[in-house]
Amino acid sequence: MLMEEAELKLPAPSQVMRDSEVAYFKDNGFVLPEVGLPGDASAEMRSVVEKVFVDNPDWAGIVRMPHVPVRPGQLEGVIGGEEIFKIALHPTIIAAASRLISKNLILWGGEIFAKPAGTGVRTPWHQDCYTPAVQAGPGRERPSSVMVWIAVDDVDADNGCLRFIPGSGKAGRLNYIARDNATNLLNFEVEGKTINESTAVNGVLPSGKFSCHDLYVVHGANANVSGRRRAGLTFHYMAAEDVYDRSFGAAMGSGKAQPAPIANRPIWLVLGENKNPINDFVTGHQNLEDLDQWAEDARRKLTPLFG
């Protein structure tokens, strides 16, 4: 959807994410807002993702950075990443992230998760803070980052929806144990005695709606034993007061057989101002000048609306 068209239909940020939903997120570490992508944007999102599936047939259930196109100098990405990038700039998604973490936002990551019908493996209980990429800025106890998980398919308990443990991130990073990644999406899991699985909330979402969760809340998903695929498109946004830390060097991401080092990935300022001079918006941007301009155009148009 063109930015101009989206702006005409954009509700106020407080309608995208209500005060009660913001409070719930702050207390529990996740929220399933009532508002989702508008109908036309939802349909376009499904079409774009389906085309990416067709044009990139070598996926293995998950791929990182689908919003980065395959171009010279890029170490990872997908054919059709340009269209995924545009979804990351949709005003409804930006409004939701800004309400939850900051009016100064950096887009720093994304995935497409696709659990095939009947064979999609379990996602163990985990926290997203296992990645070293996002660190707290000066004077901040914790970094602020949110994953927006957009349902491509209708998602429910039968086909392996996300599950959240309310309030489980209040103690910070928890202990982990190893897991067999032949039957699990990840090869590690939060130690069971540190969480109460009986309190888990299912992230049931119709296509086009989304959930939001922070870096610390424990979440996971059961295997998909249904006859339906379970696909979700995700984007990570962080507060521009914090730091995308590139100092750890060659630590690898996950997804494709040879993912790029996390420290080399491109990030974009998409709302407000960069409040931390350490953030580097040059590394990883080889031959992405058009995406850089789209991000800047969105930032300039949306910042006055969400200020």
State which residues of the chain have pLDDT below 70. Answer: 1-11, 60, 174-193, 249-260
Residues near 47 by Cβ (< 8 Å), separated by ≥ 6? none
H or E element that contains 293: helix 289-306
In angstroms, the CA 67 to CA 77 distance is 7
Which among 147, 117, 153, 120 is positioned nearest to 45, based on CA atoms?
153
> Residue 180: its pLDDT value, please?
58
Which tokens sit at 291?
A: 């995406």
pLDDT at site 3: 45
For residues 236 and 173, give the distance between their C-alpha atoms in angstroms, rounded to a whole number.
18
| Cβ-based neighbours of 88, under 8 Å, separated by 6 or more | 67, 107, 110, 235, 270
Contacts of 211 (CB under 8 A, 6+ apart): 30, 31, 32, 148, 149, 162, 164, 203, 205
For the chain, which domains are there?
3-306 (2.60.120.620)
In this prediction, residue 171 carries a pLDDT of 82
Contacts of 80 (CB under 8 A, 6+ apart): 48, 51, 52, 55, 56, 69
The pLDDT of residue 175 is: 62
pLDDT (0 to 100) of residue 179: 60
* Sign of the torsion formed by the C-alpha atoms of 44, 55, 78 and 119: positive
Residue 255 pLDDT: 43
Closest to 33 (Cα-Cα) out of 190, 158, 213, 153: 213
Identity of the residue numbered 50: E
In sequence order, which residues have a C-beta less than 8 Å from that of residue 251 and are 6 or more positions away?
Answer: 132, 261, 262, 263
As a whole number of angstroms, the distance between CA 238 and CA 133 comes to 10
What pLDDT shows up at residue 8? 46
What are the pLDDT digits (tens) for 198-253? 999 999 999 999 999 999 999 999 989 899 999 999 999 999 999 999 987 665 54
